[in-house]
Structure 1
Amino acid sequence: MADEVGLAALRELVSAPGERFRPRPEPGGAQESRTLTVGMATYDDYDGVYFTVASLLLHHPEVRDRVNLLVIDNHPCGPHAWALKRLELDFPQLRYVPYDRRVGTAARDRIFREAASDWVLCLDSHVQLAPGALAALLAYIDAHPDSGDLLQGPLVSADGRQVSTHWEPRWERLMFGSWATDPRGLDPAAPPFEIGMQGLGLFACRTDAWPGLNPAFARHGGEEGHLHEKFRRAGHTTRCLPAVRWAHRFDRPRTSWTDSTWYQTLLNYLTGFDELGQSHEEAVAQFTAVLGEKAVQQGVADHRAERRNPLHAFDGITCINLDERADRWQALRGRLIALGIRPERIHRQPATPTPADPRVGRALSHRRAVEQAHIDGLESLLVLEDDALFLPDAAATLTAALAELADLPWSLLHLGGARGTAVPGRALGGARGTAVPGRAHIETVTDVTATHALAYHRSAFGPLLDELPDNVHEMTSWIHQHAGLARYLASWSRPDRYRTVPGVCDRTDRTQPVGLG
């Protein structure tokens, strides 16, 4: 009876008219381990997801029991979210995961992080596979279970006459790569062969061989060629499997804000080239030839300025904000943009509301932010509570502090402190610290320091997730024992905890209750 009530409530949410408020869907339960996960990252494309999933199950029944389906919803607060969630009811082997920390092409990385399988096939949410394609991929996997290669297949036109087996590495329409055909791929029964690159509407690899996508990628563009080069540098190659044929819906009349502009595509290319130590020259020349020198040089200057920004050192920036305090979120977002941070890099995480004891919600919210960074495989994460205010000299101080921290192991870096003048050995706000020999802008933490601006290194992710409870009931008991997250971290057993000297981040109004209590 309870299940029937739950399904009825879910259907009501899905069918709710207009802009009625709908809570963010929760992720589906864990999946059983199978050979292959077929995953899609989608942004407001329910139709594409539905027809891709339905086609997989209708046209590939011979391998259904070897495959999990995974949908990463990149806009879980959007109008398609609950319809996507409901697909779990229609397709029992499908799991829904809401995810918006990275929006755009980099969201596909999450498929590999969530997959309960040794292999992943990543599809755009509007791709159809030819009959037998999935079986052919699984046959290759069975024959090469330890392969570290990137596997792709030919794109086939709607009428079946045009077969594009790969991309030629040349610039075309502000994109590095041009569709091409190798005669070896015209026969679906032909053996696999090596290619340099291919469009990423369909690709597969062993989960453990996945090299990841740069967390700074946003929207669309720059990933083709870049991902292939990462596989090459890892000692692997890209192979075309002629039987793994696919069709792609390119037209999408109902567009969304995630559709790329030339500006964001250029930034992605520059970011990818920086990651791999490659020259920008060809990309800049291509964009300049199409768009003119003035606009492109501004994009290049913006990219260089962002790389110099000390906040760029953190792989992720998560802002914790209660749903009912949208004003705080908009204000903090504006302050970060004014500091030179692109909006795409600023992630809002809904805070866990616990009015009876806000300390519980704060600890749970920080834990959730760390958990997401851990799943994403980030090197570091900056967590800001929604009243965080960077002080006028923050950039210079943080730049110096990060330079001093560069050759030291660290787990936590506190950026917070009250207004005023700090001296080594005494952090802003009265808390004490211990000087670090040869360092003027960091000190070790020996007393309680606020959590409103706190950077976590990946070395801290696992220990914190082990030690902090993940639910309100257990966290309430934990808070009663430890008196809050800040006090717990002040006495944490790890020695590599630091704060900046002076503090670089205050609260907007220290006389008023903060957003999380």
Structure 2
Amino acid sequence: MWDKAYVINLDERVDRWEWMQGQLASVGIKAERFPAISIRDLAELPPPPALQQFLLEVDGNGPDFERKLWATWACMQSHLAVLRRAREQGLASVLILEDDCEFEPFSRAVLVELEKQLLNLEQDFLYLGGTLKKGGGYSRLSKNVYAVSRVRLAHAYMVRSSVYNRILEEAPESGLPLDWYYSEVLLPNIRAAISSPQLAFQRVDDVSSIEGVARVKKFRWRLFWRRALARLRYS
């Protein structure tokens, strides 16, 4: 389904890498650790003014603004570094995971189905999980694959070589965080899809490297029943 998989992980977050190894083993994914680019690595590559202005408009100039700005930029640079490596290695596709990615218990079974279905689909981009945004398309391509045009979050996704160059050229100049660039600029113009059911979520009760606070679990009945049905079907 993909030629290689990488987990982006900061050197100081050994705990996350150890946790991710257990997650990967549980769903049968073989992945290499990719050292994340940290804020201190970017002294000579500061965030562009357009990104700073965007975050000011979205979040305001709070006490943690500078840290969030640099962390957002470092996050993008880490993802782009993975894509550069994939391009250099001549990989036809690469799976990119962040180290706070948590898989559903039924993921292994669904991944087997996805691999079969993607053989007949020419998708440039596949999310294993993400937040569907209003105004975006969502249409069925196969049993477990849906075409999408607006999705946020970038914690678990596959990219094909058909869009490596485009992402590497456009994303740093977009003035947007990486997941916003994907959602608002890239996805409407490529063949993008998401797995159904979704397989990967960002881990809650763990401090975000960008936000600097722990994500709090929010209970939603629709999501609860959707996940419960998927567990019954695939577990």
The TM-score, its normalising length taken from structure 2, stands at: 0.69
- Asked whether 1:501 is paired with 2:204, we answer no
Unaligned residue ranges in structure 2 (runs of 5+) = 40-66, 212-235
Give distance in 1, aligned partners of 2:198 and 2:23.
Answer: 17
**Alignment equivalent of 2:157, drawn from 440, 450, 454:** 454
Question: More relative contact order in 1 or in 2 (CA 8 Å, sep 6+)?
Answer: 2
Residue deviations 1:35-71, cap 9 Å, x none? xxxxxxxxxxxxxxxxxxxxxxxxxxxxxxxxxxxxx
In structure 1, the residue matched to 2:183 is 490
**Alignment equivalent of 1:375, drawn from 67, 79, 88:** 88
In structure 2, the residue matched to 1:205 is none
1:401 Cα deviation (Å)?
A: 2.8
In structure 2, the residue matched to 1:409 is 122
Structure 2 counterparts to residues 34-433 of structure 1, below 5 A = 313-341=1-29, 345-354=30-39, 355-357=67-69, 358-417=71-130, 433=137
1:488 Cα deviation (Å)?
A: 1.1
Change (3 A) 1:340 1:323: same
Structure 1 vs Structure 2: percent identity of aligned residues? 28
The TM-score, its normalising length taken from structure 1, stands at: 0.33
**Alignment equivalent of 1:436, drawn from 120, 131, 140:** 140
Structure number with greater Rg is 1
Q: How many residues align?
A: 181
Contact preservation (8 Å) 2:171, 2:181: no
Residue 151 of structure 2 aligns to a residue whose secondary structure is coil
Residue type at the aligned position of 1:339: V
Residue type at the aligned position of 1:497: A
Residue 468 of structure 1 aligns to a residue whose secondary structure is helix
* Cα RMSD (Å): 2.3
Contact preservation (8 Å) 1:435, 1:443: yes
Contact preservation (8 Å) 2:94, 2:159: yes
Residue type at the aligned position of 2:156: A
Contact preservation (8 Å) 2:20, 2:99: yes
Residue 152 of structure 2 aligns to a residue whose secondary structure is coil
Unaligned residue ranges in structure 1 (runs of 5+) = 1-312, 419-426, 470-477
Residue 102 of structure 2 aligns to a residue whose secondary structure is strand
Residue deviations 1:249-308, cap 9 Å, x none? xxxxxxxxxxxxxxxxxxxxxxxxxxxxxxxxxxxxxxxxxxxxxxxxxxxxxxxxxxxx
Give distance in 2, aligned partners of 1:353 and 1:323.
Answer: 9
1:503 Cα deviation (Å)?
A: 0.8
Residue deviations 1:369-423, cap 9 Å, x none? 00000000011111100000110111222332332222222111011147xxxxx
